[in-house]
Amino acid sequence: MAPSAITTRRASNTTDLALIAAFAALVTACALLPAIEVAGPVPITLQTFGVLLSGAVLGARRGFLAVLLYLVLGAAGLPIFAGGSSGMATFTGPSGGYLISFPFVAGLVGLLVGAAGVLAPRRSLVTGAPLIFVAAMIGVALNHAAGVVGLHLRADLSWRDSWNIDKVFWLGDSLKAVAVALVAAAVHRAFPGLLRSGRPTLGAPAQDTVDA
């Protein structure tokens, strides 16, 4: 491998690591913002927004790793989960299903956004955002399915009661998906190479492989 290729690969890896760390921090910030308490054991937070945006902006692999890093840091004891909680016990609580699904949600959204091909440099925000919204809503559906299972298993609730708790979150998460679609489409329009592994480009198509 030529020295220039090695240098380019190292720069690409450094950029990827920086983006993964930055979006792990974004998810943390979203989780630590004040939660809205509703009936039931699971509060409404902006965590889901950060998770969905990680996948929609970074793609499947880096989105998955960014959210996984967030979970690993929280499991290690940093108080970065919703409400300032931390530790492995959080994964076995009533909201554990939602939490465990986060990396897979980000990965799925990133995969769908990449597969949709909505990120061509000159593709308009109006065209791209609806397709990103669909991808985000599929991610929301996965998150809620895992959440219902977690409530049923960990909170000792019936399937019906688990669904009754979960359905409270659908409207809020749908609005988060709208926000994710608008933000991600705008980001990709400004940085069309961002979904690809490597250095983001401004206003010109990147030549790297799509991170899916």
Answer whether 197's CB lies under 8 Å from 211's CB: yes
Query: Residue 207: what pLDDT?
Result: 44
Q: Is 97 contained in some domain?
A: yes
Q: Is 151 contained in some domain?
A: yes
Query: Residue 83: what pLDDT?
Result: 80
Residue range 96-119: mean pLDDT, rounded:
89
Comparing CA positions, the residue from 28, 125, 153 lying closest to residue 84 is 28
Q: Is 199 contained in some domain?
A: no
Q: What is the DSSP letter of 192?
A: T
What is the per-residue pLDDT across 183-197, written as a single tens digit (0 to 9) for each?
Answer: 999 998 888 777 766
Query: Residue 193: what pLDDT?
Result: 76
Query: Residue 206: what pLDDT?
Result: 43
Q: Is 11 contained in some domain?
A: yes
**Range list of H helices, the chain:** 3-32, 47-58, 60-75, 96-116, 125-154, 159-166, 170-190
Query: Residue 180: what pLDDT?
Result: 96
By the 10 Å C-beta count (0-12 exposed, 13-18 middle, 19+ buried), 20 is classed as buried
Q: Is 179 contained in some domain?
A: yes
Alpha-carbon torsion (105, 108, 112, 113), positive or negative: positive
Q: Is 96 contained in some domain?
A: yes
Residue 204: pLDDT above 50?
A: no
Rounded CA-CA distance 140/192 in Å is 25
| Total number of domains constituting the chain | 1
CATH number of the domain bearing residue 130:
1.10.1760.20
Residue range 46-53: mean pLDDT, rounded:
95
Domain that holds residue 29: 3-190
How much of the chain exceeds pLDDT 70, in percent? Answer: 77
The three-state secondary structure class of 197 is: coil
Residue 11: pLDDT above 70?
A: no
Residue range 14-22: mean pLDDT, rounded:
94
What is the per-residue pLDDT across 118-175, written as a single tens digit (0 to 9) for each?
Answer: 555 455 555 589 999 999 999 999 999 999 999 999 888 999 999 999 998 898 899 9
Q: Is 13 contained in some domain?
A: yes
Q: Is 210 contained in some domain?
A: no
